[in-house]
């Protein structure tokens, strides 16, 4: 049991400037590019994922987190995959959160996790919802990544999406549960500030606030929750591929004093052997690469040795 001794925190103000990208709107590619440059974060509507599927996975997730503690702990403890409680990663980070971190396996069709408990008959409906959701959210990630290429006016249009659609892609699904933190006279850190290492993160939460992002000027703002939409984060790998043009957004979660928050996040990552470097197509004349070339395997190995709030890309900068 980890004891959290940090003092209670005050949530940031809600921000009204979060760009909303309607995937059915033909002109949305330019808006999406400016959102990636300015914030590294935006909201996606008309994404095509049925609310019924989203609600089904949320219900299964809530059911899982409502199990007695000893039953949840029978699931492999997160290392990195499995069930985790209060500890995030393996380098001493803690938060007011419990979670399931699931590996996405691409073959024969994308599905979530090799964890044994998901193969038990009692977990059948959870497993089905997870697998359907993974397929659907990956399609959203792919559409968004294609629109990014369109907005940047680069060909082929699948230059980013093919990396996460690759059969070897190293992608992850995370289900987070932030219990309400009543009695702490304010909010607690649910998930400390960090950037996501992958290419793209597609997040959906219930209607409980808590997610905060950092603006270019370093100030923190709160994201108004919207359970029918997805929120997209630019990850470190996309910042590298765009030579810093797109911004990997720092974000964090404060647990809510009154309501519990449930979020499900798809992290679209490259295959292990993928070489990450700025795309030559995006480099202006005489523009220098800000990063040395590295593989995703190298980056991930180094990222998993860091604390949540560390600057993980620093050592790959030229």
Ligand X SMILES: O=C(O)CCC(=O)C(=O)O
Task: Please report, as ranges, the residues that interact with Fe ion according to CB under 5 A.
Answer: 196
Binding status of residue 197 toward ligand L4NPZUNZ by CB under 6 A: yes
Enumerate the H helices of the chain as residue ranges.
28-38, 51-65, 69-72, 124-151, 161-165, 236-241, 296-303
Binding status of residue 304 toward ligand L4NPZUNZ by CB under 6 A: yes
Residue 100 binding result from ligand X, ligand L4NPZUNZ, Fe ion, none, given CB thresholds of 5 to 8 Å by partner type: none
Q: For residues 172 and 164, give the distance between their C-alpha atoms in angstroms, rounded to a whole number.
A: 11
The tokens for 108 are: 């024969």
Residue 151 binding result from ligand L4NPZUNZ, Fe ion, ligand X, none, given CB thresholds of 5 to 8 Å by partner type: none
The stretch near ligand L4NPZUNZ (CB under 6 A) out of 190-198, 241-249, 250-258, 283-291 is 190-198
Question: What is the CA angle 247-248-251, rounded to 5?
Answer: 120
Phi, psi of 33 (to 5 degrees): -65, -45
DSSP letter, residue 169 = B
The tokens for 223 are: 């994201």
Tell me which residues in 79-98 interact with ligand L4NPZUNZ (CB under 6 A): 80, 88-89, 91, 93
In angstroms, what is the minimal distance from the CB of 1 to ligand L4NPZUNZ? 19
Listing DSSP states for 14-73 in one string gives B-S---EEETT-TTHHHHHHHHHHHTSEEEEES----HHHHHHHHHHHHHHHTS-HHHHT
In angstroms, what is the minimal distance from the CB of 267 to ligand L4NPZUNZ? 6
CB 224 within 8 A of CB 209: yes
The tokens for 199 are: 């290419």
Binding status of residue 174 toward ligand X by CB under 6 A: yes
Residue 172 binding result from Fe ion, ligand X, ligand L4NPZUNZ, none, given CB thresholds of 5 to 8 Å by partner type: ligand L4NPZUNZ
The residue number with the shortest CB distance to ligand L4NPZUNZ is 89
Residue 303 binding result from ligand X, ligand L4NPZUNZ, Fe ion, none, given CB thresholds of 5 to 8 Å by partner type: ligand L4NPZUNZ
For residue 261, indicate whether it is catalytic: yes
Task: Please tell me which residue in 261, 273, 307, 312 is annotated as part of the active site.
Answer: 261
Cβ closer to ligand X: 174 or 245? Answer: 174
User: Which string of x and - marks every residue 219-258 that binds ligand X (by CB under 6 A)?
Assistant: --------------------------------x-x-----
Q: For residues 145 and 128, give the distance between their C-alpha atoms in angstroms, rounded to a whole number.
A: 26
Binding status of residue 211 toward ligand X by CB under 6 A: yes
Q: Name every residue whose Cβ is closer than 8 Å to that of residue 172 and which is 6 or more positions away in sequence.
A: 101, 102, 103, 104, 198, 266, 267, 269
Q: Which residues bind ligand L4NPZUNZ (CB under 6 A)?
A: 80, 88-89, 91, 93, 101, 172, 174, 194, 196-197, 267, 303-304, 306-308
Residue positions annotated with a catalytic role:
261
């Amino acid at each position: 049991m980890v004891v959290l001794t940090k003092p209670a925190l005050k949530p940031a103000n809600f921000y009204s400037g979060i760009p909303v990208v309607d995937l059915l709107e033909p002109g949305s590619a330019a808006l999406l590019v400016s959102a990636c440059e300015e914030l590294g974060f935006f909201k996606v509507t008309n994404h095509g994922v049925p609310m019924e599927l989203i609600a089904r996975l949320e219900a299964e997730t809530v059911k899982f987190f409502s199990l007695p503690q000893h039953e949840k702990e029978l699931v492999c403890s997160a290392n990195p995959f499995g069930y985790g409680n209060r500890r995030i990663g393996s380098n001493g980070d803690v938060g007011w959160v419990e979670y399931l971190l699931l590996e996405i396996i691409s073959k024969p069709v994308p599905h979530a996790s090799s964890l044994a408990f998901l193969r038990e008959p009692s977990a059948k409906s959870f497993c089905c919802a997870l697998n359907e959701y993974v397929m659907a959210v990956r399609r959203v990630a792919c559409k968004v990544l294609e629109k990014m290429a369109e907005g940047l006016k680069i060909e082929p249009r699948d230059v980013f999406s093919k990396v996460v659609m690759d059969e070897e892609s190293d992608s992850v699904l995370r289900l987070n549960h932030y219990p309400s933190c009543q009695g702490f006279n304010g909010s607690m850190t649910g998930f400390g500030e960090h950037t996501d290492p992958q290419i793209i993160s597609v997040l959906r939460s219930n209607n409980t606030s808590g997610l905060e992002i950092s603006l270019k000027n370093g100030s923190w703002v709160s994201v108004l929750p919207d359970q029918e939409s997805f929120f997209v984060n630019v990850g470190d790998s996309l910042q590298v591929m765009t030579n810093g043009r797109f911004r990997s957004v720092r974000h964090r979660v404060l647990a809510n004093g009154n309501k519990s928050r449930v979020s499900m996040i798809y992290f679209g990552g490259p295959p292990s052997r993928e070489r990450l470097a700025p795309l030559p197509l995006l480099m202006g004349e005489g523009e220098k690469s800000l990063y040395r070339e590295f593989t995703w395997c190298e980056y991930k190995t180094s990222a998993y040795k860091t604390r949540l709030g560390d600057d993980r890309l620093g050592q790959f900068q030229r």
